Copies of this chain bind each other. A is one copy, B any other.
Amino acid sequence: MSATAADRAYDHVKHAILDGSYAGGALLTEGEVADAVGVSRTPVREAMLRLQVEGMLRLYPKKGAMVVPVTAAEAEAVLEARTLVESWAAPQAASRGAQLADELEPYLTQMRDHRASGYVTGFSEADRTFHERIVAAAGNDILTRLYRSLRERQICISEAVMRLSEERMDIALDDHSQLVDRLRAGDEAGFVELTERHLQQAIDNTRSSR
């Protein structure tokens, strides 16, 4: 219980949105959440402000906070933005070669372990971090932050995809280890190309699951 009350409220609402307890379109009130978390309304307010900025809530003055129902347009926007950032980052990340490969290796291992033990949530978390590190390697804090928030929203958009099939996990695992291989081999063009393909696949998966 070391986190602040505001953090706890934030986590509570975020998780509730992500796992569907607070469905899209639902109207929350500060008091409700405050009671649920066991804090006063002040920290809840702060949490809701943060979540609004991240695009998960929309606050209506004197009315309440609506859990943003994901529209098709919004889903497209997230995918498009993600593609833009990731495509931009790939060439720059590629030039860091083996150094980046060393950094990514642990997450690849995690993915393998989680794949073996069937822990899907852990798998996709490692997957997400893997990609985040690639983007971060491009060295632009602003775009890295944006990318992180995009990935979080994507979870919220398509929790269906979260239920990765075994097959899909294997494909992802294979793609990722190939990415690391190409970094080590200094094959920058190959890295970029594979990134594009991986992205396109993610887009197709998300689209088809909607």
Contacts of A45 in B (CB 8 A): 46
Knowing A49-B49, A88-B84, the reply to whether A78 touches B142 (Cβ < 8 A) is yes
A142 contacts B49, C-beta separation under 8 Å? no
A53 touches B55 (CB 8 A): no
In angstroms, Cα B77 to Cα A139, docked, is 8
**Proximity bits, A58-99, B CB within 8 Å = 1, else 0:** 000000000000000110111011001100100000000000
Q: Which of B50, B55, B77, B142 contacts A140 (CB 8 A)?
A: B77
Task: Name the interface size band of chain A.
Answer: 20 to 34
| A77 and B46 contact, CB distance less than 8 A | no
Q: A71 → chain B, closest Cβ, in Å?
A: 10
User: How many whole Å from A58's CB to the nearest CB in chain B?
Assistant: 12
Q: Cβ of A36 < 8 Å from any Cβ of B?
A: no
A150 interface residue (CB < 8 Å to B): yes
Asked whether A173 is an interface residue with its Cβ less than 8 Å from the other chain, the reply is: no
Task: Provide the residues of chain B in CB contact with A202, threshold 8 Å.
Answer: none
Residue in contact with A77 in the complex, picked from B77, B81, B88, B141, CB distance below 8 Å: B141
Query: Which chain A residues numbered 146 to 186 have a C-beta less than 8 Å away from chain B?
Result: 146, 150
Binding site for B on A (CB under 8 A): 42, 45-46, 49-50, 53, 55, 73-74, 76-78, 80-81, 84-85, 88, 139-143, 146, 150
Return 30 A-B CB contacts under 8 Å, by A number: A42-B42, A45-B46, A46-B49, A49-B49, A49-B50, A50-B53, A53-B53, A55-B142, A73-B139, A73-B141, A74-B141, A74-B142, A76-B140, A77-B139, A77-B140, A77-B141, A77-B142, A77-B143, A80-B140, A80-B143, A81-B140, A81-B142, A81-B143, A81-B146, A84-B84, A84-B85, A84-B88, A84-B143, A142-B150, A146-B146
